Amino acid sequence: MDKNLKDTISAAKNLQKEGLIYLNDSIDLEVEPNYQILAMIIHNLNDMIDREKYELVKNDEKKLIHELALLNFNENDLICDDDVEIMENMTREYIDILDPILYEDVCVFFPKAGKLAEIYGKASTQIEEGKFKNIIF
């Protein structure tokens, strides 16, 4: 067996043991995330930005997403471009950046309702199918 394939399968099995993914026992190696974990990650995204900073980047979607992504890291964290890119993708996919709520000097962004409902539906299905234990409902 190819070493890369063997390492990939081993890594996927370890992720399954941790409850982060579901690995189907077929030859196709079908993998799906634990949607309960994904929902928790979305709820824990730091989605508040200082109003002054927001005013500087609000007309540039790419910069706004980048700034929101950076807010999810502590000042002393060792981060790489891949980490930032993951957070940018999460923000782009799941956070409504078009309609923040202004509260005092802070802009608060909320998850896209339709996306979050879809994730909860998938999480519920995974629980019903016995793929994961219920940890959030």
**0.75 exceeded by the pTM?**
yes
pLDDT at 9 over 80: no
pLDDT tens-digit series, residues 15-45: 888 888 888 776 666 789 999 999 999 999 9
Give me the residue label for tokens 């992720």: 15
The arithmetic mean of pLDDT across residues 109-121, rounded, is: 94
Give the H/E segment covering residue 39: helix 35-44
Number of Cβ atoms within 10 Å of the Cβ of 67: 19
Backbone angles phi, psi at 135, to 5 degrees: -120, -10
d(CA 67, CA 85): 11
Q: What is the pLDDT of residues 46-83, one digit of tens each?
A: 889 999 999 999 999 999 999 999 999 987 777 888 88
Residues 6 or more apart whose Cβ sits within 8 Å of residue 28: none
